[in-house]
Amino acid sequence: MTLRFSVLASGSTGNAVYVETEQQRLLIDAGLSGKKMDELFQSINRDPKDLTGILVSHEHSDHIKGVGIFARKHKLPIYANEKTWQAMNSHLGNLANEQKFIFGIDEVKSFGNLDVESFGVSHDAAEPMFFSFHHEGKKLVLATDMGYVSERIKGTIKDADMFIFESNHDTNMLRMCKYPWSIKRRILSDVGHVSNEDAAMALSECIGDKTSRIYLAHLSLDNNLKDLARLSVEQVLKEQGMAVGEQFELYDTDPHHPTALAVVS
C-alpha cells in the first residue's frame, strides 16, 4: 500500500493539496474557484467525486474560496475545527448539516487506513492548523501559513518522509516592495508567514534520516521567486551540514499547476 499526494496549487492566490491511499482520498483546502479545482483534479487524472472529504486548515480566502461550491457539487463532507467553522461558515453558502464535521486541533482522526494528525500554527486566523498524514509507517507533513515554527511544531513534524513546507518570502524583497508598512509588518510578524531563511533553519531541525523530498510552498508572487527560494533554502541547509541532492531533494510548487502525483517513500 502507498501514500501519494499532489500539491494542486500553492501561493497567495489559492492553495489546495490532494492526499490519497488506495482506500482514501482527501483534499486539504480549496482556495480556488470550483471550476479551477475541477481542472486541477482532471490534470492529475483523479475524480473529485471519489474524495473522502475536505480538510480545512483555516478560514482565509486563499484556502476556502472553492470549499462550499466544491463540496456541494461533489457532495463532500468538510472537516474543520470549531473556531474555523465559526469564522468561515457564512462564506461557504448553504451546506447540509450532514456535510459539516468537527476536526479538533491537536487531534488524530482516522480515515480508513489513513491517520491524519492536526497541529496548531501561529497565523492571524481564528484557530489555524495543519496536518501530518500517516500510512503504513510513512509520514507526510503539510505546514504553511506559519508566522514562526515553534518547538512544539518541530517536535510534531520532525522525521517526516516528505515535507510540504512554507517558504513564503525573501525578507529583502519584502522590505523593499511596494506593500504598505502595515502589511509588511503583518507578514514579518509571529502571526504572518515564514521567510526562506527561517524555513530552512526550521527544516534543518526537522529533517530526518528518512526524509527524501521537501516541497517549498506558499511562495509570495510579489516577494519571492522559485529559484531564489530554492537557492536560499539550499544554502542555509548546506551551512547546517546537510547536502541537498544527496540526502534529499528540493521541489517547487506552483500557484496554477499541480505537482506530479508522488509516492511518499
Q: What is d(CA 31, CA 246) in angstroms, rounded to the nearest whole number? A: 34
4-9/16-20 β-pairing = antiparallel
Report the pLDDT value the prediction gives residue 5, as an integer from 0 to 100.
98
Contacting residues for 107 by C-beta, under 8 A, at least 6 apart: 117, 118
- Could you say which residues of the chain have pLDDT below 70? none
Instruction: With beta carbons less than 8 A apart as the criterion, state whether 97 and 30 touch.
Output: no
Virtual torsion, Cα 63, 64, 66, 69, nearest 10 deg: 160
53-55/78-80 β-pairing = parallel
How much of the chain exceeds pLDDT 90, in percent? 100
Q: What is the pLDDT of residues 191-242, one digit of tens each?
A: 999 999 999 999 999 999 999 999 999 999 999 999 999 999 999 999 999 9
DSSP secondary structure code for residue 89 in this structure: G
Report the pLDDT value the prediction gives residue 1, as an integer from 0 to 100.
73
Cα dist from 32 to 36, 107, 128, 214, whole Å: 6, 27, 19, 23
Report the pLDDT value the prediction gives residue 110, as an integer from 0 to 100.
98
